Amino acid sequence: MLENAWVIPTLTFVSFWLILFFGKRLPGHGAEIGIGALGLAFVLSCVAVVQWVDRPATEVVPHGTSEEVHGEEEEEHGAAGGQRGEDRQVVATAVETGGHGEETPIRSAVERNVTWFTIGDVEVTAGTAVDGLTVVMLFTVTLISLLVHVFSTNYMHGDVRFTYFFAALSLFTTGMLLLVVSSSTLQALFGWELMGLCSFMLIGHWWEKAENSNAAMKAFLTTRTGDVGLLVGIVTLFFAAGQTFDIALINERALTGAIGHTALVVGAVGLFIGVIGKSAQFPLHTWLPDAMAGPTPVSALIHAATMVVAGVYLVARLYGVFWEAFDIGAGGVNPIAVVGGITVLIAAALAFVQDDIKKVLAYSTVSQLGYMVMALGVGAWTAGIFHLFTHAFFKGLLFLGAGSVSHAVHSFDMKADMGGLRKYMPTTFVTFLIGSVALAGLFPLAGFWSKDEILVGAAENGYPVFELVGIVGAFLTAAYMTRCVYLTFFGEYRGHAHPHESPRPITIPLMVLAVFSVGAGLLNAPGVEKFFEITENRVFLLAGVEHHSFEVFPAVVSTVVVLAAIAFAYLLFFERRLPRGLTRRNALARSGYTLLTNKYYLDHLYTGVIVGSVKGAIARAAYWFNQKVIDGVVNAVGIAARRSGDWTYRHIDQAVVDGAVNGAGFGAEGFGGILRTIQTGRVQQYAALLFGAATVLALGLIIFV
Amino acid sequence: MLVNQFLVLGAVLFSIGVYGVLARRNGVLVLMSIELILNAVNINLVALGALQGASGAVTGQVFALFVITIAAAEVGVGLAIVLLIYRNRASVDLDEVDLMKG
């Protein structure tokens, strides 16, 4: 299965076409095709995971520890890029030949490429590269997608575009799987854009309402803004790395110094802009909460568990590039960590003021994505990926839980239409609670382990500021989730519907995900560390990324913080001990609240200031240019053409051409007039002419011959 | 063999025919005059053929037979036309038939 990983995206792609063509005629309206294909893909992904785990570790990669890289950097500061790279290799070789003696063999990635097309001397290949990260992603994506499919059969039941919905889900899964298995950046871009398209289609699924189609447009355009950067990054790296799109090669060349530092920075910044767009990082995160206009299963699949982590995946995949470009190993500050850190805090704060349960979860997703990006930014590679893995389960669970709740009360508004639902929907309540606790990160649920690893990584790699950010983020996360759970499930029911527990197609996915939310974290618990072993790869070792396993101290700190947050939120919401109406009485609190409800005025910045200035000044300038310059040229050409046309008409067409035509006509008429006189219609006259002519000819014959 | 007499006869007949065609007003008589012209030609063909010897005689006579056949067809068509003209106009005066006047 490792060699034939292409089968998995192909399956879902075929499923897309089958649903599109035959879905409507089938008894399940196409859902059975999607579920069948996804089920098969999931089984194959499991096979791939098993095969990967069974694969003997044979490849020995020289370790370069980050400290050594450090020293090297300091010594060689200001030297040419190539020079630096050579030196690094020397160091690496020294390490290999026996300094540390810590070269544990790893499993080598399985690559399989075919020539896609050739331009000049450049042969562009397409293919699959499967390693630990890939199989983990395959497993996560297919599992969540499968569960979302099952969930949707009931949730979307009776929808006007039911079949179309499943087709789009299949196509979306294809995009994500294609991105995950691809061995080249160009191919990855295909998957990336396919997801953007499907996201647009699915967010705007109920496009009859203007706000839904606006949200779809916003998501598409915002991610598109980032994609421009991505394209620049890919092309820059293509040329910088010696005309190759191959991800493994790019990583290798970036790490060995074969790519000049400037080109590398440009490429990495470009790629990272793409990541900011896709993974909803500050300041392009505004599309994600709006994307909640789509059906809830879409939010669960696309905007929590898979598509938005594509950006994180990309950073992890091309980690060599980012590592070198931003000197991640050096500690201190770098753009990735900063963007991630800012995102963690601002999104978590925004989650407090939302009344829509899905928006809370959306901002929570943004915040958690910030965690992942921050983890990658501080060099905690495994931790970032591990958080991606665990987050997929509990965030998928929370979204599906929110879907289940809205299915019962026909609303997303926590304040107006929910409350006290734990009595009516016990299964949803328990699973949602598990998801919330996992997200908050309490021992021993999934979020606890991955969050702790991020904190340890930040501390150990010399990023103490970001460790603090992580802890504050954890506090906020726990508090807003408590608020969300309280508003939804506790107190008295405030709505007018008749809430009831959801049917099995909805509760079974919830239960499965709840199991994973509880258990997934144990994969990397101390003493197990299976996840680390599985995902360890060549780039990781070449760069000298260090893996930091569980430590008690930060774990205790974060647990205390989380408990404090829960207690704080408990007092605030359950007991109502803390002063209420603070936002109305205290000016500072009020201004903060206003800032939050207006989402930091970012949307105003985008639509008001940026779009406004474009619409105003730039548009006016463009209009002037258009009117005066372009139109001037066009008009001049037009007038010239008309004048010359006029002249041609008068002098050539009328005089010469028409003259000739009319002349021919008049000539024929005149000549006909003459000939007409001998056409008397009298047969005998003709006969006389005939005989006369014959006589003349005969005479001529006699005389001249 | 006195070819001359045949040729003279042919010439006389031809001239009478031409005169008839040009001068007569009656359509039927014009057709008859055309027959005269054709027969004058037949006489010439046979006479001049006989002058060439046996093979020439055969050639001339075969030609004459062709002319007679075609003349029969021609007169059939011609009489039919005259008949129709008569039916339409109750007259066969050729001077009145000048619809083709330009």
Can you give the pLDDT at residue A160? 77
Residues with Cβ within 8 Å of A254's Cβ and at least 6 positions away in sequence, in order, are: A241, A264, A320, A321, A323, A324, A325
- The residue of chain A with its CA nearest to that of B17 is A691
Q: What is the mean predicted confidence (pLDDT) over A626-636?
A: 86
Alpha helices in B52-89 (DSSP H): 54-89
The SS3 of residue A492 is coil
Mutate to test the interface with B, among A683, A689, A691, A695 (most CBs of B within 10 A): A683
How far B74 CA sits from the closest chain A CA (Å)?
16
Q: How far apart are CA A389 and CA A462, in angstroms?
A: 25
Q: Is A208 exposed, middle or buried (0-12, 13-18, 19+ CB in 10 A)?
A: exposed
Percent of chain B clearing pLDDT 70 (strictly above): 98
pLDDT band for position A237 (50/70/90)?
Answer: confident
pLDDT band for position A590 (50/70/90)?
Answer: low
pLDDT band for position A287 (50/70/90)?
Answer: confident
Q: Which two tokens stand for residue A111?
A: 């690559």
Q: Which two tokens stand for residue B27?
A: 């359509």
Alpha helices in A57-99 (DSSP H): 66-75, 81-94
Alpha helices in A413-537 (DSSP H): 414-417, 421-424, 426-440, 446-460, 464-489, 504-519, 530-535
Pick from A350, A399, A351: nearest CA to A506: A399
CB atoms within 10 A of CB A466: 29
pLDDT, one tens digit per residue, over A523-549 is: 777 766 777 777 777 777 777 777 777
Q: What is the mean predicted confidence (pLDDT) over A193-215?
A: 84
- The residue of chain B with its CA nearest to that of A685 is B22
Q: Please name every residue paired with A246 in a beta bridge, in sequence order, or none if there are none.
A: A184
Mutate to test the interface with A, among B14, B21, B37 (most CBs of A within 10 A): B21
A509 touches A143 (CB < 8 A) = no
Residue B8 lies in a domain: yes
| Alpha carbon separation from A112 to A126, A136, A181 (Å, rounded) | 8, 19, 10
Can you give the pLDDT at residue B99? 78
Can you give the pLDDT at residue A101? 43
What are the b/e assignments for A439-457, b being 16+ CB within 10 Å?
A: bbbbeebbbbbbbbbbbbb
Residue B98 lies in a domain: no
What are the b/e assignments for B19-54, b being 16+ CB within 10 Å?
A: ebbbebeebeebbebbbbbbbbbbbbbbbbbbeeee
Residue B81 lies in a domain: yes
Q: Is the pLDDT of residue B40 over 90?
A: yes
Does B29 lie at the interface with A, CB-CB under 8 angstroms? no
How far A685 CA sits from the closest chain B CA (Å)?
7
Domain that holds residue B73: 4-90
Residue B27 lies in a domain: yes
Residue-by-residue DSSP string for A517-552: HHHGGGGGSTTT-HHHHHH--HHHHHHTPPP----H
Can you give the pLDDT at residue B65? 94
For residue A675, the chain B residues in CB contact (below 8 A) are 102
Percent of chain A clearing pLDDT 90 (strictly above): 5
Pick from A448, A431, A463: nearest CA to A560: A448
Residue B15 lies in a domain: yes
What are the b/e assignments for A389-415, b being 16+ CB within 10 Å?
A: bbbbbbbbbbbbbbbbbbbbbebbebe
Q: Is the pLDDT of residue A102 over 60?
A: no
Q: Is the pLDDT of residue A509 over 70?
A: yes
| Alpha carbon separation from A537 to A520, A546, A630 (Å, rounded) | 21, 12, 56
Pick from A329, A365, A695, A346: nearest CA to A542: A329
For residue A691, the chain B residues in CB contact (below 8 A) are 18, 21-22
A555 touches A452 (CB < 8 A) = yes
Residues with Cβ within 8 Å of A76's Cβ and at least 6 positions away in sequence, in order, are: A83, A84, A87
Residues with Cβ within 8 Å of A445's Cβ and at least 6 positions away in sequence, in order, are: A394, A434, A437, A438, A517, A518, A521
pLDDT band for position A585 (50/70/90)?
Answer: low
How far A702 CA sits from the closest chain B CA (Å)?
16
Among A407-416, A503-512, B28-37, the range with the most confident prediction by mean pLDDT is B28-37
Chain-chain contact of A683 with B102 (C-beta, under 8 angstroms): no
Residues with Cβ within 8 Å of A684's Cβ and at least 6 positions away in sequence, in order, are: B21, B22, B23, B30, B94, B95
First to last CA, chain A: 105
Alpha helices in A283-425 (DSSP H): 287-290, 296-300, 309-317, 319-325, 335-350, 357-377, 381-409, 414-417, 421-424
The single residue listed with the structure tokens 């309206």 is A29
- The residue of chain B with its CA nearest to that of A688 is B22
What H or E segment, with its residue span, contains residue A122? strand A122-130
CB atoms within 10 A of CB A647: 11
Cis peptide preceding A56, ω within 30 of 0:
no
Can you give the pLDDT at residue A596? 67
Residue B20 lies in a domain: yes
Q: What is the mean predicted confidence (pLDDT) over A568-592?
A: 63
pLDDT band for position A65 (50/70/90)?
Answer: very low
For residue A676, the chain B residues in CB contact (below 8 A) are 102
pLDDT band for position A84 (50/70/90)?
Answer: very low
Can you give the pLDDT at residue A68? 41
Can you give the pLDDT at residue A62? 65
* Model confidence, pTM: 0.68
Q: Is the pLDDT of residue B94 over 50?
A: yes
CB atoms within 10 A of CB A253: 22
- We report the CATH number of the domain holding residue B9 as 1.10.287.3510
CA A407, A411, A417, A418 torsion-angle sign: positive
In total, how many domains does chain B have? 1
pLDDT, one tens digit per residue, over A450-462 is: 888 888 888 887 7
A556 touches A563 (CB < 8 A) = no
Q: How far apart are CA A598 and CA A606, in angstroms?
A: 13
Does B18 lie at the interface with A, CB-CB under 8 angstroms? yes
CB atoms within 10 A of CB A672: 11
Q: What is the mean predicted confidence (pLDDT) over A506-519?
A: 84
- Who has greater pLDDT, A470 or A257? A470
Can you give the pLDDT at residue A534? 75
pLDDT, one tens digit per residue, over B5-19 is: 899 999 999 999 999
CB atoms within 10 A of CB A316: 24
pLDDT, one tens digit per residue, over A21-34 is: 887 777 777 788 88
Among A169-178, A299-308, A454-463, the range with the most confident prediction by mean pLDDT is A169-178
pLDDT, one tens digit per residue, over A371-413 is: 888 888 888 888 888 888 888 888 888 888 888 888 888 777 7
Residue B17 lies in a domain: yes
User: Which chain A residues touch B if contact means CB-CB below 8 Å?
Assistant: 675-684, 687-688, 691
pLDDT band for position A615 (50/70/90)?
Answer: low
pLDDT, one tens digit per residue, over B46-55 is: 999 888 888 8
Does B99 lie at the interface with A, CB-CB under 8 angstroms? yes
Residue B97 lies in a domain: no
pLDDT, one tens digit per residue, over B57-91 is: 899 999 999 999 999 999 999 999 999 989 988 88
How far B76 CA sits from the closest chain A CA (Å)?
18
The SS3 of residue A30 is coil
Does B21 lie at the interface with A, CB-CB under 8 angstroms? yes
What is the residue-averaged pLDDT of chain A? 79
For residue B21, the chain A residues in CB contact (below 8 A) are 684, 687, 691
Chain-chain contact of B98 with A688 (C-beta, under 8 angstroms): no
A8 touches A128 (CB < 8 A) = no
Vertex A169 angle, CA A164 and A170, to 5°: 100
A351 touches A476 (CB < 8 A) = yes
Q: How far apart are CA A594 and CA A551, in angstroms?
A: 40
A546 touches A379 (CB < 8 A) = yes
Q: Is the pLDDT of residue A503 over 90?
A: no
Q: Which two tokens stand for residue A124?
A: 């562009």
- Who has greater pLDDT, A360 or B87? B87
How far B59 CA sits from the closest chain A CA (Å)?
24
